[in-house]
Structure 1
Amino acid sequence: MMYSLLRTTCRNFIRTVPSSNDVHCKIYKRCASSLLGAQDPVVKRNIPRNLKTGPLPTEQNTQIANYQEVLPDMLNDVGDIIKRFGTTEGSNWFIKAIEYHLEKSACNILQLTTLTYDQYIKSKNISTQNHQLAYIMGYCTEFMNISVLMLDDIMDDGAYRRGHSTWYKMHGIGLAINDAFMIEHSVYMLLKHYFGHLPFYRQILETFHETVFVAACIQSLDLIYAKNPVNTFNMETYRIMAANKVAYDHFYLPFATALYLAGFSDKTILNQSKNILREVGTFYQIKNDYLDCYGTLDTFGKIGTDIQDNKYSWLVVAAMELANEQQQQIINECYGKKDPEKIQEIKNLYSTLDLHSVYAVALEESYQKTKSQIYDIPDKTIQEILLKIATRVYCSEM
């Protein structure tokens, strides 16, 4: 009898509640439909490979199901907006671009968003929780990262990303540039749609804008310095670039927006955290530079080209600091050249200078520095979250 009453209540709710784009209304109606056994009218989209179901613990399966639940609505919402200004073809193309990049992604940024949100609200025993919005926020941070990487691939002439062909190599530069901008601005549409009515909307929007601007500034420096001779490279400049290149979109953006969503807004602690995550981002970039030289397509996801592209890489900066006059001459003559023999000369010199050991020392020093800074944070919960982030970067293949 109770079950029959529940089904009747759900049926009446679905019939009487008007159609609405409000996220809470969508969620409630979805729950009611689920209880009735009704089929979800939203077409299922492709899900990132690491979010597909499998032999996982019950708690993780539940979280994955929640990830999967919000993505179709988000894609359909943006698709509907595009249809208003263009055509169905434009909407379908946008969804195709998003699905292609998510399918190849580990979605680390999305997971960092939800990790931060979940740990903060659990630690603080916050009763008002909205995990659905946390998942949506996570996808917004992923979408933003996709747009940044799409443009980065074009500017760096990258053929592969995450082990698969880059978007512009498949569909051309002009279309890929437009797709990247469309994905970026879809984020602003989604933020307004899902979070525009909330008190922290302005802070979240400003954090996204700051992230995009910093990414553009550092990409500009990266391209400018690639035209300079290698003997002008130095570690101070490298660390300035590295501290900002990935720290914002990979770490600070998901961290800060998740905390805003959870109701946290202490500016002092957020600024402290930003500086810590810039140090984490510095080592993340050092690791990226290292893998560009020593990683493979399977392990690194792309074919490294830093040596021939004259990139401002940690490896060459460290080599210039350690090299004697004769070795520096080799670097000057061979770095930034596309000749395979000259590329190999640089790699041989890296081995001679034992940059593997130098890298290991840099890892340990950066990790200890980061932990020391984290322990200065007065909020224990924020400490724990930052330690988890740092450990994932320093002690894993993230």
Structure 2
Amino acid sequence: MSSKVDAKAQKRQKFEAVYGKLRDELLEHFAAQGMPEDAKEWYRRNLDYNVPGGKLNRGLSVVDTVEILKGRTLTEDEYFKAALLGWCVELLQAFFLVSDDMMDQSITRRGQPCYFRLEGVNYNAINDSFMLEMAIYHLVKSHFRAEPYYIHLVELFLETTYQTEMGQLIDLITAPEDHVDLSKFSLKKHQLIVIYKTAYYSFYLPVALAMYMCGIAHTSAGSSGPDAYALAKSILVPLGEYFQVQDDFLDFAGTPEQIGKVGTDIIDNKCSWCVNTALAHATPEQRAVLDASYGRKDAQAEARVKALYEEMGIRKLYEEYEEGAYKRIMGLIETIPEQPTTKPGEVTLKREVFKSFLDKIYKRQK
């Protein structure tokens, strides 16, 4: 077990070393525009505070996927390029989180104060979030401008950003923290929010970036199979949906020791899988309890909702959902041709890419 942990730590360390190079490159470019020293230091703090601190799963997924698709150890240049695209996903995540925390007026993020709450930052964080986003396009242009797939990378980042913003809009107007209206909630609405707000950028984006970098064409899932990117999306979107449902369930059922935080979805009026499932199964009496107690800043109201979840068997309903999702996703993975005919040196989609994602998620506890 410890060797597995060591390997994971080494992988993360190698990936983090690339961040230092990219940050210095961004700061050098910034200084070369004649920007003053205090602005450069501000930009450095913005990058260091917001980009490298998370789990880095999305960024590392790009590297892992390139390695699986190529089926060998990457050269130094290939690793750098894959890690660079991985850090661009992390920059996108940082842009979303800085702005999301302001919209939600959140207190902490990753165990420290939200960026906009730092002394002197406040609404400057709006511009800082824009700078995190634009750093992506500067890096991609600097390192991939000559590649035939350059425009695909740019369009993919732009399209994914737009999709995530669409999901954020539905989430913001469906579940504002200060106005509870459960009639706006439904499992269908939850699914739409999750797909647009999470699945596209967290699951499809890293894999599609890796596919472009490996030179996978738009029709090479198999020699005459469907479009490889459409096939990847058809598996990764349900995978992302399953991941978020799991996250919602763990917010209710996981202990702080397990998930590293105290669950707040009930108090925060989140349009979570748990409440939507409860609404779909509630008797009129149970619905009345939910209407009176959900989204209230009150520990007793939260306890009433939790008790209702237990009474309605949310744990059992989640187990059934998880088994169904696992079987459905495995079935989709099996539609990828096992041994597609390839020309020498051609890279095609592999089942292992998706199985590695599913293995990391299935029955996770945190």
TM-score range, shorter chain: 0.7 to 0.9
2:69 corresponds to: 120
Q: How does 1:60-75 map to 2 (within 5 A)?
A: 63=11, 66-75=14-23
1:385 aligns with 2:353: yes
* Cα distance, 1:114 vs structure 2: 0.5
Q: How does 1:2-17 map to 2 (within 5 A)?
A: none
Residue 120 and residue 212 in structure 1: after superposition, are their counterparts in 2 closer, same or farther (change >3 A)?
A: same
Q: How does 1:10-49 map to 2 (within 5 A)?
A: none
Q: Which amino acid aligns with 1:86?
A: M
1:269 and 1:377 in contact (8 A); partners too: no
1:306 aligns with 2:258: no
Q: How many residues align?
A: 344
Residue 378 and residue 348 in structure 1: after superposition, are their counterparts in 2 closer, same or farther (change >3 A)?
A: same
Task: Report which of the two structures shows the higher radius of gyration computed on alpha carbons.
Answer: 1
The runs of 5 or more residues in structure 1 that have no matched partner are: 1-53
Residue 129 and residue 187 in structure 1: after superposition, are their counterparts in 2 closer, same or farther (change >3 A)?
A: closer
Q: Which amino acid aligns with 1:120?
A: L
Distance between the aligned counterparts of 2:82 and 2:22, measured in 1? 13
Distance between the aligned counterparts of 2:200 and 2:26, measured in 1? 25
1:317 aligns with 2:276: yes
SS for the counterpart of 1:130 is: helix
Q: Comparing 312-321 with 153-162, which one deviates more in the overlay?
A: 153-162
Identity among equivalent pairs (%)? 26
Residue 229 and residue 59 in structure 1: after superposition, are their counterparts in 2 closer, same or farther (change >3 A)?
A: closer
* Cα distance, 1:269 vs structure 2: 1.5
Distance between the aligned counterparts of 1:302 and 1:234, measured in 2? 26
1:139 corresponds to: 87
* Cα distance, 1:332 vs structure 2: 1.1
2:62 and 2:209 in contact (8 A); partners too: yes
TM-score by length of structure 1 reads 0.79
Distance between the aligned counterparts of 1:191 and 1:164, measured in 2? 30
2:238 and 2:329 in contact (8 A); partners too: yes
2:30 and 2:40 in contact (8 A); partners too: yes
Q: Comparing 85-94 with 244-253, which one deviates more in the overlay?
A: 85-94
Q: Comparing 363-372 with 265-274, which one deviates more in the overlay?
A: 265-274
Counterpart of 1:109 (choices 58, 61, 68) is 58
1:94 and 1:183 in contact (8 A); partners too: no
1:68-101, CA deviations, whole angstroms, 9 ceiling, x for partnerless residues?
Answer: 4422221111112222153222222222233233
2:183 corresponds to: 231
1:36 corresponds to: none
Distance between the aligned counterparts of 1:239 and 1:357, measured in 2? 20
1:364-388, CA deviations, whole angstroms, 9 ceiling, x for partnerless residues?
Answer: 1111101101111226552111111
Q: Which amino acid aligns with 1:394?
A: Y
1:276 corresponds to: 235
Distance between the aligned counterparts of 1:303 and 1:78, measured in 2? 36
2:222 corresponds to: none
Counterpart of 1:361 (choices 320, 345, 350) is 320
Q: Comparing 97-106 with 353-362, which one deviates more in the overlay?
A: 97-106
* Cα distance, 1:260 vs structure 2: 0.7
Residue 299 and residue 163 in structure 1: after superposition, are their counterparts in 2 closer, same or farther (change >3 A)?
A: farther
1:327 corresponds to: 286
* Cα distance, 1:315 vs structure 2: 0.6
Distance between the aligned counterparts of 1:379 and 1:208, measured in 2? 29
Distance between the aligned counterparts of 1:74 and 1:375, measured in 2? 38
Distance between the aligned counterparts of 1:282 and 1:57, measured in 2? 27
1:211 and 1:248 in contact (8 A); partners too: yes
1:245 and 1:281 in contact (8 A); partners too: no
Residue 56 and residue 354 in structure 1: after superposition, are their counterparts in 2 closer, same or farther (change >3 A)?
A: closer
Residue 127 and residue 87 in structure 1: after superposition, are their counterparts in 2 closer, same or farther (change >3 A)?
A: closer
